[in-house]
Amino acid sequence: MPRSKLVRSLPFGAISLLFAASATAEPRKPTHVACVGDSITAGVGASSAAKNYPSLLQGLFGSSVQVKNFGHSGATMLGPGYGDTPYVQQSEYTAATDFVANAGAGAVVSVVIILGANDSKPYNWDQQGKPAQYLKDYQALVEHFAGLSSKPVVYVAYPLATGNSPCCEIRGDVIHDQELPLIKQLAMDEHVPIIDLNTATTNHPEYFGDGVHPNDAGYVVMANLVKKGLDREPMVAIESPAMGATVATGMLPLTANASADTALISSVEFFEGQTSLGKVTAEPFTLLWAAAHGAHTLTAKAVDTTLASATSAPVTFTVSDASAAGSGGSGGASAGASNGGAAGGGTVSGGAANGGTANGGTANGGTGTAGAATAGSSATNGGAGNGGALPVTPISTNPSTDTGCGCALPKTGAPAGKASVLLLAWLLAWRGRREARTRRRLG
């Protein structure tokens, strides 16, 4: 069965499940990756140079991507006058700058920064003002690389946790409690993505040889975490219209929710099949679309500032002709129209509920005309509920004499509704009193 016919034959719940599997994403695909960092990036603790994380990352990407190691043992993020070994004063900083700047036309460049372990040492961190300086120097390094001609995407990484009895005066609590919040603040301020190496390595001393530097198993974990971080993708879903909804023709607002975490969404584009309906570049991601009558299936594609993209699961809904549905309540167009209240949605039962009853014409001599003259007794008197106001109509088109009392009903225009009911009640009561007096005289 063709896909289109299959979809039409399924209930909306099943369609939701079918389409959920159709959502697609396309991570940003780099051609060049610069690994900036300290001894953990350099590969101290690995059994060979082939076992450090940049080498393992190269294997994960394959030969189509150039991954270069620019780690320097002992390097700090803290700059000159603050850290004991500022990264910006090392030859690896210069080499990384040249690699990124000279990647060539059309290159897609990523820079991964993992610095902070050496900054946690007491003589680097505990002096007054050092946390604020760490944030300032980190911002300067990010902006340095981001400003190069190849326009790379800079990824800031949370430093690894530490294992048991960490060496080198490095303090895992300072990294976790003080550095990580600063890195997150930086990522939000600069709108750059985060790679979290800390959470997955916390309480895993088996990943570390000396409590700080990973062993071979730890470097495998680290390489996979970096690859996953570089493969990040935005999230997008159509919020309105909802799956299975029925909406009126006209200018329909299409709205999508989209997020790229600390990075920014640069655009959301709506599609029907392969046809673009339009693109929006700022929140709220809402596009006004001239919706035509019939069934529609739409998707939304979000692209973030790293050039990663994602396409939402399709949403199927129906656009109905606005004139086919009453604008009022449960009565609908036809019921409302037949009872005098098309716009308000009057119901068929509106008139009948207040119509004439058995009290209208009984053995006492009254005719059905008197009883039927109450409010809403027929379609001509207007529907109840939200229909139009009850019109003023004659109770009887001709004078009529009640056979029981000989009195004439009004000739014209007595208002239907409450006044007529009161009049009828008074007449019935008056007639009852007269008959009672007659019985007393005869008795």
Question: pLDDT category, 178, cuts 50, 70, 90?
Answer: very high
C-alpha to C-alpha distance for 122 and 72, rounded to whole angstroms: 20
**Strand, coil or helix: what is 315?**
strand
In the predicted structure, residue 249 carries a pLDDT above the cut 80: yes
Average pLDDT over residues 354-358: 36
Looking at residue 124, its pLDDT comes to: 96
Answer whether 188's CB lies under 8 Å from 19's CB: no
- The predicted-structure confidence for 301-351, as pLDDT tens digits, reads as follows 999 999 999 999 999 999 998 554 444 433 333 333 333 333 333 333 333
- What are the distances in angstroms from CA 379 to CA 126, 254, 265, 348, 391? 88, 42, 58, 9, 11
Tell me which H or E stretch contains 135. helix 130-146
Q: Which residues contact 127 (CB under 8 A, 6 or more apart)?
A: 82
Domain boundaries, the chain: 3-24+234-324, 29-230, 349-442
Which CATH class name applies to 29-230?
alpha beta
Looking at residue 127, its pLDDT comes to: 83
CATH of 3-24+234-324, one of 2.60.40.10, 1.10.10.10, 3.30.70.1890, 3.30.450.20: 2.60.40.10
Q: Tell me, what amino acid is at 239?
A: E
